[in-house]
Structure 1
Amino acid sequence: MKYLTFAAATLGATAATTFLVPSATAQTPELTVYTYDSFVSDWGPGPQIEKAFEAVCECDLNLVGLGDGAALLARLKLEGERSDADVVMGLDTSLIAAAKETGLFAETPVSADYDLPIEWTDTVFAPYDWGYFAFVHNKDLDAPANFKALGESDLKIVIQDPRSSTPGLGLLMWVKAAYGDEAPAIWEAMADNVVTVTKGWSEAYGLFLEGEADMVLSYTTSPAYHLIAEEDDSKAAAAFDEGHYMQIEVAGALAGSDTPELAAEFLNFMVSDAAQAILPTTNWMYPAVIPEGGLPAGFETLTTPEKALLTPADEVPAIRAEALDEWLNALSQ
């Protein structure tokens, strides 16, 4: 709390007395949230989320973009208990177990009527949006119907690094969930299709839009951006008959936060109608809680996977290590 110093003179006194009194307004509290770069971009949800939350919290929301989703956890591990973050937003179900192992997150009560494909019982992390990974392409492309067909084709693809990107990690888990022990052979067949591996989603999608690849690893919801924001219906997400891997993005409060009540308020805000209504047409994902107005027009045209794939969070670490080795071996040949 700030204090002001006043000099007061007492009538008839020969000396002035200096004393401290509380200021009329307390110092504005600040909440620091680590998230991914695309969230805080001008076209992402960050600016609208910041404005809406500050209108109700009487605080200063500091959104800090740090690469892609998986890079957030690496940064947090590096900083440890010295981290300036109060909340981390942008991890997903593939990183929950590893995040909990750090011991840096606190259980935080969040009340929401989730509309997710699975039941949500985690008390540390709160989901705020979700989607399915997919390869996005121009509609005039004869897209493959599965990973085997992709590996047999001459199509060029751009993917993200699983060590820094949640979509990149999601792709590893997708192939592993669909093919199990056959995953190494799938990666060996697809290695020639990979034009480049980027650190994050934004760079990869940009290369696709620039014509550097036929397809890019993204989401079934990505074509909604082009349709709604650009009135361009030329993009589509390839439907794979093995099924599509699901991503549920989450936020969690750090145990070392100086403002735990404010951190909890932010997590609950992110599942409120005010925030959930923002996400579909800024983060281009499905909201974790359907807002009052429902989904925006255009979302009904999106590819809907016939089969959803998702590995339980506590099983991911062991599978991730094996899948990463398979991926590195295939792409290094």
Structure 2
Amino acid sequence: MHRRFMLVAAATVAVASLAACSSGDTPDSPAASGTSAAPGSVTLVTHDSFALSDGILDDFTAQTGIAVKVIQQGDAGALVNQLVLTKDAPLGDVMFGVDNTFASRAVDEGVVAPYTSAAPAAADAAKHAGGTGLTAIDYGDVCINVDHAWFTKHELAEPTSLDDLTDARYKNLLVVPNAVTSSPGFAFLLATIGAKGDGWQAYWADLKKNGLKVADGWSDAYFTDFSGGGGGGPRPIVLSYASSPPSTVPKSGGAATTGALLDTCFRQTEYAGVLTGAKNPQGAQKLVDFLLSDEVQADIPTSMYMYPVSTAVEIPADWQKYAPLATTPFDVAPDQITANREAWLAEWSQTVIG
């Protein structure tokens, strides 16, 4: 239902309670921000695609004496729904994975308590906050992806724009996740609203006439329907991420077999925050700070296939070639998303699903 190729393919999501090892302050420890020690445990409520490399959360425990329990709640939309439904009796202490398509709802519902991190990367995070008051941790572009090999084999020029996707040359070639049930799917709906304005419904009607397929979620679209996702599907155009292509570089070497269309993108930012009513708010603050540490930020590209907000860590070399960000992604203001989300989804469903 979400993205992250290596995560779905390898099923390496780390969901565990980690035993406390020792306490103590380090340069990346939130103790430097003025919070007192918070031994015991914290519960992180997140989406199904959260995964850091083995041992990283153990390092947090070693630095702070705080064990971490991870609870996963579906994609970003399902996560927000659960946080809102349980806000009077929160599921945990800290959340990660609410993105900019849902952040305003979480803030308006009072799900997250105010907290300003003093971690070194906090200034970088603030540049991506978008007025939410939340702590940005990572970001990436939701974009149309194409299978280079398929188009070469069929001697057909690849599409390059949103308008190309309605061209008869690409009939029955595109698959996207459902905008109602998938956060990347909703992000792509927002891309088309940002691009087409009041004409977005007509654009989707044209996509439907051109043989659009709607999958339940990202994994179905990418791994089952997409010809370049490893499952041998029939469709060479799929909605995914600008960071998807590096995962298709052959192990034996060579170039990525897929590419992202950077004129079709919507930028997605993921946030963390201390939950209102947290049992261990000081421990939650420490974990938010830890997510901004160099250790975590450097791990994000290879573990969660997103860009870190910190400018102090290096991006993998193949990302510079195969996972560049869009220069001018489409944008929709957060307050407009909040005001129109339900109406837009209802109109999308009526237009596309019928």
Q: Which bracket does the TM-score occupy, shorter chain normalised?
A: 0.7 to 0.9
Q: 1:206 to 1:48 in 2, by over 3 A?
A: farther
Give the drift of 1:308: 2.3
| Counterpart contact for 2:292–2:310, Cα < 8 Å | yes
| Counterpart contact for 1:70–1:162, Cα < 8 Å | no
Gaps of 5+ in 2: 1-37, 152-156
Moved more, 120-129 or 142-151: 120-129
1:145 to 144, 160, 181: 160
1:308 equivalent to 2:348? Answer no
Give the drift of 1:228: 8.5
- Higher Rg of the two aligned structures: 1
Which secondary structure state, in structure 2, belongs to the residue aligned with residue 249 of structure 1? Answer: strand
1:55 equivalent to 2:62? Answer yes
1:195 to 190, 213, 232: 213
Q: Counterpart in 2 of 1:226?
A: 248
Q: Counterpart in 2 of 1:6?
A: none
Q: How does 1:1-333 map to 2 (within 5 A)?
A: 29-40=40-51, 45=52, 47-111=54-118, 112-115=121-124, 120=129, 122=131, 124-140=133-149, 141=151, 142-152=157-167, 153-192=170-209, 193-199=211-217, 201-207=218-224, 208=226, 209=229, 210-212=231-233, 213-227=235-249, 231=253, 233-240=256-263, 244-292=265-313, 294-301=314-321, 302-333=323-354
- 1:167 and 1:115 map into 2 onto residues whose CA distance is 24
CA RMSD of aligned residues (A): 2.6
Identical aligned residues as a percent = 26
- 1:277 and 1:138 map into 2 onto residues whose CA distance is 29
- 1:244 and 1:118 map into 2 onto residues whose CA distance is 20
- 1:70 and 1:270 map into 2 onto residues whose CA distance is 21
| Counterpart contact for 1:159–1:168, Cα < 8 Å | yes
How many residue pairs get aligned? The number is 300
Q: Counterpart in 2 of 1:23?
A: none
Alpha-carbon displacement from aligned partner over 1:167-222 (angstroms, at most 9, x marks no partner): 122111110001001101111011253323224x3343222321333222111111
| Counterpart contact for 2:165–2:174, Cα < 8 Å | no
Q: 1:307 to 1:81 in 2, by over 3 A?
A: same
Give the AA of the match of 2:134: F
Give the drift of 1:123: 6.7
Which secondary structure state, in structure 2, belongs to the residue aligned with residue 38 of structure 1? Answer: coil
Moved more, 307-316 or 183-192: 307-316
TM-score (norm 1): 0.81
Give the AA of the match of 1:167: P
TM-score (norm 2): 0.77
Alpha-carbon displacement from aligned partner over 1:110-166 (angstroms, at most 9, x marks no partner): 133554795536474111111111112211333312222112221433322333432
- 1:228 and 1:125 map into 2 onto residues whose CA distance is 38
- 2:171 and 2:125 map into 1 onto residues whose CA distance is 36
- 1:49 and 1:205 map into 2 onto residues whose CA distance is 28
Q: 1:60 to 1:145 in 2, by over 3 A?
A: same
- 2:126 and 2:111 map into 1 onto residues whose CA distance is 28
Q: 1:266 to 1:76 in 2, by over 3 A?
A: same
> Whose strand fraction is larger, Structure 1's or Structure 2's?
1
Give the AA of the match of 1:196: V
Gaps of 5+ in 1: 1-26
Moved more, 214-223 or 114-123: 114-123
| Counterpart contact for 1:136–1:237, Cα < 8 Å | yes
Which secondary structure state, in structure 1, belongs to the residue aligned with residue 317 of structure 2? Answer: coil
Q: 1:117 to 1:85 in 2, by over 3 A?
A: closer
